A = this chain, B = another copy of it.
Amino acid sequence: MGVKAVVEDYISKKDRIISTAIDIICDSGLSALTTRNIALKENMSEALLYKYYGSIDEVLKDVVDYYFKFDKGIQATISAKESSYIDKIKAYVDSYASYYDNYYALSVIMLQYEELLHNPVTRDKVAEGTLDRREFLTKLFEGAIANKEIQPYIPPDKLSMVVTSIIYQLTLNRRFVFKKETFQSETNRFVDKMIEFITIR
């Protein structure tokens, strides 16, 4: 292999390890995320795994980076949209709802914020990432209020917090309540209803 191929192979192997780590966290919880379990699932020796990741915390750091990876791109797409703020809010929620519907294991990272906030390796990223998501949504609600699209009685940061917590709760629900409806349609229905309730007609 040439240098380029070797580098590409190295990167794609790291990507696979992260994807396996996310599956382990989803299937068995954070306590099951060990180099031993990753090596087993990847059918490689732990010694080989250490060529890619020096410790389980390095893996976890990349898992969290991956979790927040598309945020800036999604925000840029929504900001560039020519539409009302209400439609921007709906499109923003739908981006995550659709993404998590297709990649369920990734959404479960959301349920582990508390433990990730205890880990010095992931703490800052989780705090910044979650606040950044919420602030973006707050700005959209601010716009919707300024534009007289929705009623001004509930402050925008509270509306943003409610949407964030609903997405969390619907994700947690899936862990112990069976639902026929997809996560995407359930989330959109819930948030649409909430927005409908505060919309000015």
| Interface positions of A (Cβ within 8 A of B) | 28-32, 108, 111-115, 117-119, 127, 130-131, 153-154, 158, 161-162, 164-166, 168-169, 172-173, 175-177, 190, 193, 197
- 20 A-B interface contacts by CB (under 8 A): A28-B118, A29-B115, A30-B31, A30-B115, A31-B31, A31-B115, A31-B118, A32-B118, A111-B113, A111-B114, A112-B115, A114-B175, A117-B175, A127-B176, A161-B166, A161-B173, A162-B165, A165-B165, A165-B169, A168-B169
Taking a contact as CB atoms under 8 Å apart, the answer to whether A197 and B154 are in contact is yes
Q: A111-B114, A154-B193 are in contact. Are A162 and B172 (CB under 8 A)?
A: no
Which residues on B sit within 8 Å (CB–CB) of A162?
Answer: 162, 165-166
Which residue on chain B has the smallest CB distance to residue A117?
A: B175
Q: A115-B30, A117-B176 are in contact. Are A161 and B153 (CB under 8 A)?
A: no
Which residues on B sit within 8 Å (CB–CB) of A31?
Answer: 30-31, 115, 118
Interface of A is mostly: helix
Q: A153-B197, A165-B165, A197-B153 are in contact. Are A190 and B115 (CB under 8 A)?
A: no
Q: How far is the CA of A161 from the CA of B193 in the complex (A)?
A: 14
Which residues on B sit within 8 Å (CB–CB) of A32?
Answer: 118
Q: How far is the CA of A164 from the CA of B161 in the complex (A)?
A: 13
Q: A31-B30, A127-B176, A165-B169 are in contact. Are A158 and B114 (CB under 8 A)?
A: no
Which residues on B sit within 8 Å (CB–CB) of A193?
Answer: 154, 158
Q: How far is the CB of A185 from chain B (nearest CB, A)?
A: 15
Q: How far is the CB of A154 from chain B (nearest CB, A)?
A: 7
Which residue on chain B has the smallest CB distance to residue A189?
A: B158
Q: How far is the CB of A197 from chain B (nearest CB, A)?
A: 7
Please list the 9 inter-chain residue pairs (A to B) with the smallest Cβ-Cβ separation, ordered nearest first: A29-B118, A111-B114, A165-B169, A165-B165, A127-B176, A29-B115, A117-B175, A165-B166, A161-B169
